[in-house]
Amino acid sequence: MARPIWSGSISFGLVSVPVKLFSATSPKEVRFHMLHDKDGARIQQKRVCSADGQEVPWEHIVKGFEISKGRYVTVAREELEAFNPRATKAIEIEDFVDLEQIDPIYYESTYYLVPDRGASKPYALLVEAMKKTGKVGVAKFVLRTKQYLCAVRPLGKALAVSTMLYADEVVSQDELEGLPESKPGERELKMAEQLIGSLESDFDIKKYKDDYREQVLALLERKAEGEEIVAAEPAEAPRGKVVNLMDALQKSLAAAKKGELREAEPDRGEVRRKPHPHHRAAARTARKRKSR
Amino acid sequence: MDVSIEGRRLSLSNLEKVLYPKTGFTKAQVIDYYMRIAPVVLPHLRDRPLTLKRYPNGVEKPFFYEKNCPSHRPPWVKTATVRGSEKQIDYCLIQDAATLAWAANLADLELHVPLHRWRNADRPDAIVFDLDPGPPADIEQCREVALLLKGMFDTLDLQSFAKASGSKGMQVYLPLNSRVSYEESKPFARAVAEALAAKKPKLVVSNMKKSLRAGKVLVDWSQNDPHKTTVCVYSLRAKERPTVSMPLTWEEVRKGPVSFEAEEALRRVEKRGDLFAPLLSLEQKLPRLH
């Protein structure tokens, strides 16, 4: 098992359960390194002074906060450490609330809490009790140097902790322009509802794959095997005109009522024919049909 | 029996074997059908990775799909290597009559191909809508849906073409031949199917879920995908009788015969040529959706 990120206890009221914290997610992005194209050597990053062009060692780097264009106040590490939240070693549940009341916009990262030695029984009790009541705990805890707000909830056999944003970290919709003011009409709404109904299914996360990552990995694998690879020409974006399918469908329904039927007319409008070397026989047949 | 087709030597076996017990249609007749239909079917098969659907003991006995081109193939059978994320597949390419005869000799009754040619695996030549009736809906409802699709495309100044699946349903094709990618064609197909389902909820579904389909026509848009195949035009079907996936005129879609067996299919092609020829050459731009 991986090493815990943190250990401490989860507590509410007089109950305190020793726990360890582990990452619950592992995003799988394909990562690249920067290389020099001529000799394939790794690129190194250096911190360079913008005034004299010389490299600056770590001990001479301080933090600066820009108060106005080009004006900074600097702080030393010790000055900030004085404000570091006290590492309390506890996840203290302050409230129990309904999960539905928390909008997903607040969630950041999720971790698992695993009982520390000897804490298995009270841990199981907490998981079970939270499942029974259907509540999640809202707590604060300190991880590294930051105080996090978090939601603690039962997930399978474990407790999961999701760190959350504070209210002022979420962008207010008042800052957005162009959100609709008016309500749609009854009929349109009904049609849209039917459409949603026809697409209804059960959420199955396994259905969704990261195609991009799979393609990149397949490409890398082939390259690793020494294969020469020529980039495929990207397909052109469609330049066709903009159409409204519902209008087209409406007209189709009207035509169907009148019993209109139009057979293929190969030379109509903007349609062009392209003779294809492999298909000469087929093209001949097509021409024959036309001349009849 | 050793034969020579266009200068290529090929050994045919078990020619008297009955593959369609209900009608007594033999393997010799299957090969004969494919040889006589070859001039019109080959341009549609050319350069498309073929999925074999083999019925070694006839249509009433188990079949199997074969994507990898059998290793005991003659040296002149062309293949296309397609690499997926996990494995690589060498597909057969049916480039000529000899290869078609060879596949027929393997009791590959049905020919299944993707919408693209192998060198341009991202670019479909057409969009297909597979109309699949869920009982008690049948071919009559398919006719209605196919005509609605055609009407829509007419309005958009796009030509569309229909064929009988040779089984229970129909397919409607929209030729593109214009460098459109699946990333564009699939969402378009889906939007069309969903618009139909929203407008005619009693007639059409666009969702694969079996429970929703009773009495309705599934307008399956999901075959517009590089990994999917559709039965090729003029392919035989492994049904009770040797029916063919046959191009139809729109008048026939409205009210006409939509089921054709091998012999009828051949007579029809002789008389009318390849009604699906525009699929090979007609260039149409995909409109953007509003």
Q: Tell which B residues from 41 to 100 touch A, by Cβ distance under 8 Å.
A: 43, 46-47, 83-85
The stretch A49-59 carries a mean pLDDT of 89
Shortest CA gap B112–chain A (Å): 20
Amino acid B25: pLDDT: 95
Domain contains A232: no
The stretch A134-158 carries a mean pLDDT of 90
The stretch A195-206 carries a mean pLDDT of 80
Query: Would the CATH topology of B2-113 be identical to that of B121-227+243-290?
Result: yes
User: Is B66's pLDDT higher than 90?
Assistant: yes
Helices of type H across B60-161: 97-105, 139-155
Q: What is the CATH number of the domain that holds A136?
A: 2.40.290.10
Chain A touched by B119 (CB under 8 Å): no
What confidence tier does A11 reach under pLDDT thresholds 50, 70, 90?
confident
- Residues sharing a CB contact under 8 Å with residue B184, sequence separation 6 or more, in sequence order: A235, A237, A238, B286
Q: Tell which A residues from 173 to 192 touch B, by Cβ distance under 8 Å.
A: 191-192
User: Is B192's pLDDT higher than 90?
Assistant: yes
User: Is B135's pLDDT higher than 90?
Assistant: no
User: Is A291's pLDDT higher than 60?
Assistant: no
- Mean pLDDT score of chain A: 80
The stretch B264-286 carries a mean pLDDT of 94
Please tell me the distance from the alpha carbon of residue A252 to that of residue A246, in angstroms, as a whole number: 10
Length of chain B: 290
- Interchain proximity B249–A263, CB inside 8 Å: yes
Chain A touched by B274 (CB under 8 Å): yes
User: Is A284's pLDDT higher than 50?
Assistant: no
Domain contains A150: yes
Domain contains A204: no
CA nearest to B155, candidates A269, A37, A27, A175: A269
Q: A225-234, A238-247, B48-57, B120-129: which range is least confident on average?
A: A225-234
Domain contains A175: no
Note whether A282 and B43 are within 8 A (CB): yes
Amino acid B35: pLDDT: 94
Please tell me the distance from the alpha carbon of residue A56 to that of residue B103, in angstroms, as a whole number: 72
Q: A62-66, A229-233, A248-252, B56-60: which range is least confident on average?
A: A229-233
Q: How many structural domains are present in chain A?
A: 1
Decide: helix, strand or coil at residue A80.
helix
CA nearest to B19, candidates B108, B80, B92: B108
User: Is B212's pLDDT higher than 60?
Assistant: yes
CB atoms within 10 A of CB B11: 10
Amino acid B59: pLDDT: 95
| B-chain residue closest to A231, CA distance | B120
pTM for the full model?
A: 0.58
Amino acid A230: pLDDT: 59
Which of the listed CATH numbers 3.90.920.10, 1.10.10.10, 1.25.40.10, 3.40.50.300 matches domain B121-227+243-290?
3.90.920.10
CA B9 to centroid of chain Cα atoms: 28
Report pLDDT digits (tens) over B150-184: 999 998 899 999 999 999 999 999 999 988 999 99
Shortest CA gap A241–chain B (Å): 5
Please tell me the distance from the alpha carbon of residue A198 to that of residue A229, in angstroms, as a whole number: 43
What confidence tier does B193 reach under pLDDT thresholds 50, 70, 90?
very high
User: Is A272's pLDDT higher than 50?
Assistant: no
CB atoms within 10 A of CB B68: 14
Domain contains A105: yes
Please tell me the distance from the alpha carbon of residue A95 to that of residue A135, in angstroms, as a whole number: 10
Report pLDDT digits (tens) over B70-128: 989 999 999 998 887 678 899 999 999 999 999 999 999 999 999 999 988 889 999 99
Amino acid A289: pLDDT: 41
User: Is A231's pLDDT higher than 80?
Assistant: no
Q: Domain-by-domain residue ranges, chain B? A: 2-113, 121-227+243-290
Residue of A232, A271, A281 lying closest to B282 (CB–CB): A271
What confidence tier does A277 reach under pLDDT thresholds 50, 70, 90?
very low
Domain hosting residue A97, numbered range: 6-24+85-168
Which amino acid would we find at residue A186?
Answer: E
Per CATH, domain B2-113 is 3.90.920.10: yes
Domain contains A113: yes
